[in-house]
Structure 1
Amino acid sequence: MADDTSDPGDVARLRATAHPVRLRIMSLLTAEAMSAAEVARSLGITHANASYHLRQLHDIGELVVESEEKIRGGVAKRYRYDATREVADRSHAIDDRIAYARANAVEVERRLRDAARGSGSSSDLEAWVPVEAWHRALDLLHEASHLLHAAALPAGTPDTVHISATTNAFTMEGGLTGDAARWIPAEVAR
């Protein structure tokens, strides 16, 4: 059942990020600010394509301009993605959430093709759990996501490991919903 109470800005943000190239850009810009030319070189796409996707992500508030520098008579903006900022409500219409999940799936598939041998974790579960266990799991996923985003360094930094981490956890129909199952991140609740 679609939820038509979503904020139009949140829906636009979700739709705009539901693109594999934009997901790659946000991951890339977690570690360092980059210009369109640097993003293009790093991802093997055209400068025009990189500029277009950067503008789209900036226009919906996913990227910030960290700095500007004059280059050959023009101005190059250096963009950055801050994953630690306040996360918008994700209670969007199901079609928007599915589009985002599909874009994520394409990106995870690309990353798996480049996966190295070594440690990792993969999990899939559909189950009924106590609300307290659900909230604790979300706190841990939230903490892990913020830890990895905050620790991200530029590609190729010595003594770093190239990783992929994707999470997607949500309540299903049939159990407690609304305020009875609502989660507030532990650091916000304090």
Structure 2
Amino acid sequence: MDETDPQAVARLRATAHPVRLRILSLLTAEAMSAAEVARALDLTHANASYHLRQLQDVGELVVESEEKIRGGVAKRYRYDATREVADRSSQVDDRIAYARANAMEVERRLHEATRGSGSSSDLEAWVPVETWHRALDLLHEASHLLHAAARPAGTPDTVHVSVTHNAFTMTGGLEGEAARWVPREEDER
């Protein structure tokens, strides 16, 4: 993909904000109105509406339904992380802004971490391209699995989890088409 694709850049910039990352996580499990998002995240209604509009404008949210409330119309938004979207690559500066927003969100979540099962990993290494593609397949599958199973906050018999991953190729090794990864189809897994 062309790294100057305006749609990809706009999408990345819109999500490179800690509040918007929280909104995307919240709306993975259930559709919510701006008022419900505001209450759940302790925001003003205007602030929640602004962030929801920003995310909807770049195609990150879908309007699942609309309902009439006190003479107006309340949209209920949902984030479907499993849907196919345009390639999200863009300029390095935009990806760094996104990583910073992610880091702030992970730090907020760590304050709520409990003892128990979990996993953490960090790696900078040189691996065969086949191993790299297999690792990306597994990360992709895990992400889809968790997003598809997300339930509304506080649902009985659920565990509150945090998962963030970043995986990318670096300079110095195979690049471009030689290292390009395409997600496997669901039935291939």
Q: Do they fold alike, i.e. is TM over 0.5?
A: yes
Q: Match for residue 174 of structure 1? A: 172
Q: Distance in 2 between matches of 1:91 and 1:71?
A: 39
2:71 pairs with 1:73 = yes
From 115, 131, 134, the counterpart of 1:133: 131
Q: Distance in 2 between matches of 1:90 and 1:26?
A: 16
- Secondary structure of the 1:68 match is strand
Q: Match for residue 26 of structure 1? A: 24
Q: Distance in 2 between matches of 1:154 and 1:178?
A: 40
CA contact (8 A) 1:63 1:79 kept: yes
Q: Distance in 2 between matches of 1:52 and 1:5?
A: 27
Kindly state the Cα deviation for residue 20 of structure 1 after the two structures are TM-superposed. Answer: 0.2
CA contact (8 A) 2:82 2:147 kept: yes
Q: Distance in 2 between matches of 1:120 and 1:5?
A: 34
Q: Match for residue 37 of structure 2? A: 39
Q: Match for residue 155 of structure 1? A: 153
Give CA-to-partner distance per residue, 1:109-138, whole Å, 9 cap, x none.
000011111100000000000001000000
Q: Which runs of 4+ in 1 moved over 6 A?
A: none
2:85 pairs with 1:87 = yes
Give CA-to-partner distance per residue, 1:73-99, whole Å, 9 cap, x none.
111000000101113323311000000
- Secondary structure of the 1:142 match is helix
Q: Match for residue 13 of structure 2? A: 15
Normalization by structure 1: what TM-score?
0.96
Letter in 2 for 1:149: H
- Secondary structure of the 2:185 match is helix
Q: Distance in 2 between matches of 1:134 and 1:189?
A: 20
Q: Distance in 2 between matches of 1:85 and 1:49?
A: 26
Q: Distance in 1 between matches of 2:78 and 2:186?
A: 24
Larger deviation, residues 89-98 vs 12-21: 89-98
CA contact (8 A) 2:11 2:88 kept: no
Q: Distance in 1 between matches of 2:157 and 2:127?
A: 39
- Secondary structure of the 1:166 match is coil
Query: Any unmatched runs of 5+ in structure 1?
Result: none
Kindly state the Cα deviation for residue 13 of structure 1 after the two structures are TM-superposed. Answer: 0.7
Q: Distance in 2 between matches of 1:142 and 1:86?
A: 12
Letter in 2 for 1:172: M
- Secondary structure of the 2:62 match is strand
Give CA-to-partner distance per residue, 1:139-160, whole Å, 9 cap, x none.
0000000000000000000000
CA contact (8 A) 1:6 1:91 kept: no
Kindly state the Cα deviation for residue 28 of structure 1 after the two structures are TM-superposed. Answer: 0.1
Normalization by structure 2: what TM-score?
0.96
Letter in 2 for 1:72: R
Q: Percent identity?
A: 84
Kindly state the Cα deviation for residue 32 of structure 1 after the two structures are TM-superposed. Answer: 0.1
Query: Any unmatched runs of 5+ in structure 2?
Result: none
Kindly state the Cα deviation for residue 27 of structure 1 after the two structures are TM-superposed. Answer: 0.2
2:60 pairs with 1:62 = yes
Aligned-pair Cα RMSD in Å: 1.4
From 35, 48, 51, the counterpart of 2:49: 51
